[in-house]
Amino acid sequence: MQNFDLGIVTSHCSIRQRERGISDSMLDILLAYGRVDFKRSAEVIWMDKESIKELKSDQPSFDKHTLKKLSKLEGIRIGRTLITTYFRW
């Protein structure tokens, strides 16, 4: 897996990331494998079943708990600026 440059991370995003227990490596995975949809002027990035399957193929060492967390991870980005990240319900 490549180590992706997170670009600019807002202070809001850093705070939410810390509060929600989302590591930089989880965001790297999200940016590397996640699907992108455009809402207004922002990118919504999330992990779907296909991206989890791809990740498992590339990195078989991930445990089920981590994969479950990753399957609920989302991020909002405008340009190269990550605005926030969260786990969807």
pLDDT tens across 24-38, in order? 999 999 999 999 999
pTM as predicted: 0.84
Burial grade of 46 (CB within 10 A; 0-12, 13-18, 19 or more): middle
Distances (CA, A) of 63 to 10, 45, 47, 71: 30, 22, 16, 12
Looking at the domain assignment, is residue 3 inside a domain?
no
The parent domain of residue 69 ranges over 8-87
Count of alpha carbons within 13 angstroms of residue 61, beta-carbon side: 1
Number of domains forming the structure of the chain: 1
Q: How confident is the model at residue 4 (pLDDT cuts 50, 70, 90)?
A: very low
Looking at the domain assignment, is residue 53 inside a domain?
yes
Looking at the domain assignment, is residue 2 inside a domain?
no
